[in-house]
Structure 1
Amino acid sequence: METQTKTKNPVLLYTERTPNPEALKFVTNTMLYRGTADFQEVELANEYSPLATELFEFPYVKGVYISNNFVTVTKELNYSWDDIMLKIKAFIKSYVESDKAIINESFEAYIQEQEAAKREKEGIAYTGDEGEIVARIKDLIDTYVKPAVAGDGGNIEFESFEDGVVSVLLQGACSGCPSSLVTLKQGIEGMLKRMIPEVQSVEAHMD
């Protein structure tokens, strides 16, 4: 009687440019992590992501963002993609093929703690009319902004609303990207001001 051996699908990987010249998106045909995981510090990576930890061992890797089927790598300024892209691509392909852990299970608990603290802060800060405004701001960001930003290898999160100023957090390819700040001012700020008159400006900080 013949036994059938289950063959694994080969891991395919290609690169996509992002609006940030220092960040490149490495896209696979494999689901890596259902969520968003942004690592801008080695210490956070060491605790929660074996893949990010190993990527940080390369001297030219400055940040690692993992979401769905892609990894966005942000490089140090004094390196050229021409010199390092193929090395990173080969490493990620080999890593995914090895079936090693991408994100530790404990990361979910960490994210839940962060979100709980954020909700508590928002719950205290926003009540009545202001609470309704914040809900509309978050809905617009989630519906119209996040999908477009994800396509460029990044993420945007609502942080706060105070005195007409919306503060957001930029992650992945968006972090440290000059064109992201232009897009923020021309696109996102314009949309929010049109849709919600109480919004006067949008400010960003990087993760």
Structure 2
Amino acid sequence: MYIMNYSIYAESTPNPEVMKFVANRMIADQSIEITTLKEAKGISIAEELLKFPFVESIYLSANFISISKTGTIQWEDIAMQLRNFIADHLNSNGIRNYTENISLDKTSVVNDPKHEKIIANEFTDHEKEIEALLNEYIAPAVESDGGAITLNYYKDNIVCVDLKGACSGCPSSTSTLKGGIEALLKRKVNPDIEVIANEK
């Protein structure tokens, strides 16, 4: 039986320090941001990528890997090397789900209907409403840019969100937070809402 190999292409993101490497098939059923080898344990592609001295963090989701690099090197010097490495690694390991053995406490679940119950149990009614709006209106756009924005909490008219992947440290994230998310939530939920980013 013929099995199609993984092919990878690189795509720039609004964050100049992050490149999105897209596969032609799914590689993960959960979304996870990884910044250390300890966090990468059990996820072979992440363990190997973090060994490159210029890789700072990895955001793994669905059919792509967003890689954040150190500021001292240019993408033109490393993008092809990373693209080839990812393709070779995926093809040498066969078709698999790279996040199947990780626990949910390590992940940031984004737009995954299997985990709606888990999210719903943790959030208040207002937070559930905000999370649903983020998933419907914001998540598809930021995921296409190699990132994710998820709700952390809502309290006293403050909506705190987590920025992951290409969104973390992105120069345009402030305009996304204020012009996109805050404007949406002011219209749909409460005109007094203010959106802030979680400072990790």
The TM-score, its normalising length taken from structure 1, stands at: 0.83
Residue identity in the other structure for 2:25:
T
* Aligned equivalent of 2:112: none
From 51, 63, 73, the equivalent of 1:69 is 63
Percent identity, aligned pairs only, is: 34
CA RMSD across the alignment: 2.4
Residue identity in the other structure for 2:198:
H
Tell me which moved more, 7-16 or 94-103.
Answer: 94-103
Call closer, same or farther: CA 1:98–1:206 in 2, change over 3 Å. farther
Structure 2 CA distance, aligned partners of 1:138 and 1:199?
A: 17
Number of corresponding residues: 192
Superposition deviation, residue 135 in structure 1? 2.4
- Secondary structure at the aligned position of 1:183 is classed as helix
Paired residues for 1:10-159 under 5 Å? 10-45=5-40, 47-99=41-93, 103=98, 105-108=100-103, 110-111=105-106, 122=123, 126=124, 131=125, 133-159=126-152
Residue identity in the other structure for 2:131:
K
Structure 2 CA distance, aligned partners of 1:63 and 1:24?
A: 11
The TM-score, its normalising length taken from structure 2, stands at: 0.85
Larger-gyration structure (1/2): 1
Call closer, same or farther: CA 1:120–1:135 in 2, change over 3 Å. closer
- Secondary structure at the aligned position of 1:174 is classed as coil
Residue identity in the other structure for 1:103:
Y
Q: Which runs of 5+ in 2 are unaligned?
A: 110-114
Structure 2 CA distance, aligned partners of 1:187 and 1:104?
A: 30
C-alpha distance after superposition, 1:12-37 (max 9, x if no partner): 21111111111111111121012212
More helix by share: 1
C-alpha distance after superposition, 1:128-169 (max 9, x if no partner): xxx3x2222111111111111111111111110111100011
Residue identity in the other structure for 1:85:
A
Q: Contact 1:20/1:177 (CA < 8 Å) preserved in 2?
A: yes
Superposition deviation, residue 204 in structure 1? 0.8
